[in-house]
Protein backbone atom coordinates (compact mmCIF):
# COMPACT_ATOMS: atom_id res chain seq x y z
CA UNK A 1 0.00 0.00 0.00
CA UNK A 2 1.36 3.40 -0.96
CA UNK A 3 1.02 6.29 1.47
CA UNK A 4 -0.16 9.60 0.11
CA UNK A 5 1.64 12.86 1.00
CA UNK A 6 0.73 14.34 4.34
CA UNK A 7 0.33 18.09 4.11
CA UNK A 8 -0.46 19.78 7.45
CA UNK A 9 -2.54 22.44 5.72
CA UNK A 10 -5.03 19.74 4.72
CA UNK A 11 -5.54 18.68 8.34
CA UNK A 12 -8.21 20.21 10.52
CA UNK A 13 -7.20 22.74 13.17
CA UNK A 14 -8.20 20.27 15.89
CA UNK A 15 -5.89 17.52 14.58
CA UNK A 16 -3.20 16.93 17.26
CA UNK A 17 -0.51 16.04 14.72
CA UNK A 18 -0.90 19.28 12.74
CA UNK A 19 1.51 21.39 14.80
CA UNK A 20 4.12 18.64 14.91
CA UNK A 21 3.96 18.13 11.15
CA UNK A 22 4.26 21.87 10.53
CA UNK A 23 7.35 21.93 12.74
CA UNK A 24 8.96 18.97 10.97
CA UNK A 25 8.21 20.42 7.52
CA UNK A 26 9.67 23.80 8.53
CA UNK A 27 12.85 22.17 9.83
CA UNK A 28 13.32 20.00 6.76
CA UNK A 29 12.77 23.05 4.51
CA UNK A 30 15.40 24.95 6.49
CA UNK A 31 18.14 22.31 6.50
CA UNK A 32 17.53 20.24 3.38
CA UNK A 33 20.57 21.55 1.46
CA UNK A 34 22.96 20.62 4.26
CA UNK A 35 21.13 17.34 4.74
CA UNK A 36 21.44 16.61 1.02
CA UNK A 37 25.21 17.16 1.18
CA UNK A 38 25.58 14.91 4.22
CA UNK A 39 23.39 12.17 2.80
CA UNK A 40 25.16 12.32 -0.57
CA UNK A 41 28.47 11.82 1.22
CA UNK A 42 27.08 8.82 3.09
CA UNK A 43 25.77 7.34 -0.16
CA UNK A 44 29.11 7.70 -1.92
CA UNK A 45 31.19 6.29 0.95
CA UNK A 46 28.87 3.26 1.27
CA UNK A 47 29.83 2.53 4.89
CA UNK A 48 27.26 -0.19 5.56
CA UNK A 49 24.09 -1.69 4.16
CA UNK A 50 21.97 -0.59 7.12
CA UNK A 51 23.25 2.99 6.87
CA UNK A 52 22.57 2.95 3.12
CA UNK A 53 18.98 1.88 3.81
CA UNK A 54 18.55 4.64 6.37
CA UNK A 55 19.86 7.23 3.91
CA UNK A 56 17.30 6.09 1.34
CA UNK A 57 14.50 6.89 3.79
CA UNK A 58 15.26 10.64 3.55
CA UNK A 59 13.68 11.26 0.14
CA UNK A 60 10.77 9.03 1.11
CA UNK A 61 10.18 11.13 4.22
CA UNK A 62 10.39 14.37 2.25
CA UNK A 63 7.95 13.03 -0.30
CA UNK A 64 5.60 11.84 2.42
CA UNK A 65 5.62 15.35 3.91
CA UNK A 66 4.80 16.79 0.44
CA UNK A 67 8.19 18.51 0.26
CA UNK A 68 8.97 18.08 -3.41
CA UNK A 69 12.17 20.19 -3.85
CA UNK A 70 14.13 18.24 -1.20
CA UNK A 71 12.88 14.94 -2.56
CA UNK A 72 13.65 15.84 -6.17
CA UNK A 73 17.11 17.22 -5.31
CA UNK A 74 18.07 13.93 -3.71
CA UNK A 75 17.31 11.85 -6.83
CA UNK A 76 20.39 12.98 -8.86
CA UNK A 77 22.62 12.22 -5.86
CA UNK A 78 21.10 8.77 -5.67
CA UNK A 79 21.61 8.23 -9.39
CA UNK A 80 25.22 9.40 -9.16
CA UNK A 81 25.88 6.98 -6.29
CA UNK A 82 24.39 4.14 -8.32
CA UNK A 83 26.82 4.62 -11.22
CA UNK A 84 30.40 3.33 -11.20
CA UNK A 85 32.96 6.10 -10.50
CA UNK A 86 34.53 5.86 -13.97
CA UNK A 87 31.16 6.54 -15.60
CA UNK A 88 30.53 9.55 -13.36
CA UNK A 89 34.02 10.90 -14.14
CA UNK A 90 33.33 10.60 -17.86
CA UNK A 91 30.09 12.57 -17.46
CA UNK A 92 31.63 15.44 -15.45
For 13-26, write each residue's pLDDT tens digit.
787 777 888 888 88
How many degrees, rounded to 5, is the angle at CA 73 between CA 40 and CA 79? 60
Q: pLDDT value at position 65?
A: 82
Q: How far apart are CA 47 and CA 58, in angstroms?
A: 17
What does pTM read for this prediction? 0.61
Among residues of the chain, what percentage have pLDDT more than 90? 0
Name the average pLDDT for the chain. Answer: 78
Residues 6+ apart with CB under 8 A from 36: 70, 73, 74, 77
The pLDDT tens digits of the residues spanning 58-89 come to: 777 787 788 888 888 888 887 877 777 777 67
Residues 21 and 10 sit within 8 Å (Cβ to Cβ): no
Length of the chain: 92
Q: What is the C-alpha separation between 65 and 85, in angstroms, rounded?
A: 32
Q: Is the pLDDT of residue 2 over 60?
A: no
Amino acid sequence: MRASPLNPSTLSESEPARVGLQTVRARVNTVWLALLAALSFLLITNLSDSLFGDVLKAPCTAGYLALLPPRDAFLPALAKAALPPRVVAALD
